[in-house]
Each structure stands twice: as C-alpha cells, then as structure tokens.
C-alpha cells in the first residue's frame, strides 16, 4: 500500500481512534527497537498466519526512515526446503531472544500453546514482547504492549497492519515536542 492509499485510509478512519491507536503502538515498536541493543526485531505469526506482508512493509519503512533495527527477521513455523535466506528462519530463533530483542507477534486468531510458551520464554529472557492480535486473553499478561483488532474478518486486521507499519517512521507531534523540551532543558543558557 503506497503513501497515498495509507493517507486515504487514515482519512477514512478519522474519528474512529484507529489511526491514533496504531500510531501509539507503532511508537512503542519504534522505541523498543531504537532504545535496545542491535539484536533486532523478530516478527512471528501463528501456524495459520504468516505476517510476511508486514515484514516487507517494516523492511521498507526501516530503509526509508533510516531505522535499521526496524527491519524484522520473519520467524516461520514451517520453513519450506530451498527457501531464500531471508525467509528461512524458523521458530527455534525465538530461543535466542534475550534482553535487547523485540518480538512482535501478529495473530489474527489465538496463538497455540507451544507458541505462547516460546513467547513467554523470550519475555522471561528479557525480550520485549509486542502483540498485534484479536483480543486473545492468553496475551493479556504476556505482552508488554498490544494492539487488539477485534474483528472476525481479516480485512480490518490487514488495514491496521498498514497503519502500524506506515506510522513507525512518522514522528508524532508529541515526540517532536518531547525532543524540543529535551534540547531546551539541556541548553546551559535556558536552565534555571
């Protein structure tokens, strides 16, 4: 989805709260990968849903925004033989997630028990866990940040992913104000 379509999507959703919620979640994602060490962003879906489309958009936004930590490693439940290197990383990589890693779960349906266990292990090892999900109650105490898309149809879920990916490199007015305030208080002339 190009910038014009994302802008039209934002306009059509104005007043619903979705652009703002997606922006807040994107800010948490961006902050997690920029404040943490360079171990990277791990992106994982469920056995039934592989978020390759979001992976592609986040990679584009990482290049566009100059945020290399935002480019995800897509973790797949089943890696087909002969898969290209960038699509050949399996779930065992979650076991390597430690402090400094960010794990983003994209789950339009509930995650199964084995995946939840792996996510819990990664969190206990120090990884930040974010979830874009359907309201799965199992994620309530597990995810550090989450954005819930309670819809039975997959289309709204896909649209929210576009909002999130495009917002990862968009500076919010609040973050610009925070940076300005930080610069002003750091200035020796303006300190009191």
**Between residues 86 and 6, which one has the greater pLDDT?**
86
> For the ranges 19-28, 44-53, 165-174, which has the lowest average pLDDT?
165-174
Mutual angle of helices 154-167 and 3-12, in 10-degree steps: 120
What's phi and psi for 172, nearest 5 deg? -80, 155
At residue 150's C-alpha, the angle toward residues 116 and 16, to 5°, is: 135
Cβ-count burial 84-97 (b if 16+ within 10 Å, e if not): eeeeebebebbeeb
As a dihedral over the C-alpha atoms of residue 103, residue 150, residue 108, residue 34, rounded to 10 degrees, the angle is -20
The whole-number pLDDT of residue 173 equals 41
Per residue in 167-191, pLDDT (tens digit) is 888 754 444 444 444 444 554 444 3
pLDDT mean over 47-71: 91
pTM above threshold 0.85: no
d(CA 117, CA 93): 14
The whole-number pLDDT of residue 125 equals 94
**Between residues 36 and 96, which one has the greater pLDDT?**
96
pLDDT mean over 6-34: 77
Banded pLDDT at 143 (limits 50, 70, 90): very high
Banded pLDDT at 49 (limits 50, 70, 90): very high
d(CA 170, CA 152): 29
Q: Which CATH number fits the domain 3-186, given the four candidates 3.40.50.150, 3.40.50.10490, 3.20.20.150, 3.30.420.40?
A: 3.40.50.10490
**Could you tell me if residue 170 is left (phi over 0), alpha (psi between -120 and 50 degrees) or otherwise beta?**
beta
Whether residue 35 is predicted with pLDDT greater than 60 in this model: the reply is yes
d(CA 102, CA 93): 12
**Between residues 127 and 163, which one has the greater pLDDT?**
127
Whether residue 53 is predicted with pLDDT greater than 50 in this model: the reply is yes
């Amino acid at each position: 989805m190009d910038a014009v379509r994302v802008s039209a999507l934002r306009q059509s959703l104005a007043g619903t709260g979705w652009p703002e919620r997606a922006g807040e979640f994107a800010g948490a994602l961006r902050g997690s990968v920029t404040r943490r060490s360079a171990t990277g962003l791990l992106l994982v879906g469920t056995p039934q849903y592989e978020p390759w489309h979001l992976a592609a958009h986040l990679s584009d936004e990482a290049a566009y925004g100059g945020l290399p930590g935002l480019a995800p490693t897509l973790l797949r439940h089943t890696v087909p033989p002969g898969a290209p290197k960038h699509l050949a990383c399996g779930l065992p990589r979650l076991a390597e997630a430690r402090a400094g890693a960010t794990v983003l779960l994209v789950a339009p349906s509930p995650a199964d028990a084995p995946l939840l266990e792996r996510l819990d292990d990664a969190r206990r090892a120090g990884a930040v866990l974010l979830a874009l999900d359907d309201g799965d109650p199992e994620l309530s105490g597990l995810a550090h940040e989450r954005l819930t898309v309670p819809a039975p149809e997959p289309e709204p879920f896909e649209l929210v992913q576009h909002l999130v990916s495009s917002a990862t490199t968009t500076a919010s007015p609040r973050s610009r104000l925070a940076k300005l305030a930080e610069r002003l208080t750091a200035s020796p002339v303006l300190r009191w």
